[in-house]
Every structure is written in C-alpha cells, then in structure tokens.
C-alpha cells in the first residue's frame, strides 16, 4: 500500500464526502515485518491530494514478540474512555 484515503465521520451524522490522504514512504523490513520509514499527510482539493502538509519519521523502531506489560495501557489522570 502506498496511499491511504479516509474520511472522518466520528461525531457527525451521515457519511462524509471529504477524503483525506496519507502516503506511506520508504518501506523497510524489521523483524520480518514490512513497515514504512515515514508517513506523509497531504492537503487536498476535490478529493485529490495536492501538496505535502507534513511528514512523520519513524526512528529507532522496535518490533517485539513479547506481550506488552498491562501498565502500558493504564489510563492516566484526566484521560477519558470514549465508547
């Protein structure tokens, strides 16, 4: 996959007609998994990506077969669970 097109409908009635775009770049293999080195968000017009908005780099990626400790998922003070 190179591009992801998505819409946001949370908190809205009905379907959205506005598509947003993320591009997955520079694929790498880490512990047998193929993962992007970075992802980029794009501005859009008429549901077509136009210009680069921003890019996030994944640095020092670690993939482990160990189950994460439950403490990693503990809610902090002020956190809210939205169902």
Model pLDDT for residues 35-51, shown as the tens digit of each residue = 999 999 999 998 899 99
Cα distances (angstroms) measured from residue 39 to each of 21, 29, 52, 67, 82:
10, 15, 11, 26, 26
Global pTM value: 0.68
In which order are the strands placed within the sheet that holds 33-45? 3-6, 20-30, 33-45, 48-57
**CA neighbor of 24 nearest in space, from 34, 36, 7:** 36
> Three-state SS for 18?
coil
**What pLDDT score was predicted for residue 22?**
96
């Amino acid at each position: 996959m190179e591009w992801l097109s998505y819409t946001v409908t949370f908190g809205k009635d009905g379907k959205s007609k506005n598509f947003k775009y993320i591009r997955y770049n520079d694929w790498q293999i880490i512990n047998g998994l193929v993962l992007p080195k970075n992802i980029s968000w794009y501005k859009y017009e008429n549901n077509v990506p136009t210009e680069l908005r921003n890019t996030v780099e994944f640095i020092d990626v670690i993939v482990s077969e160990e189950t994460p400790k439950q403490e990693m998922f503990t809610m902090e003070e002020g956190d809210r669970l939205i169902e």
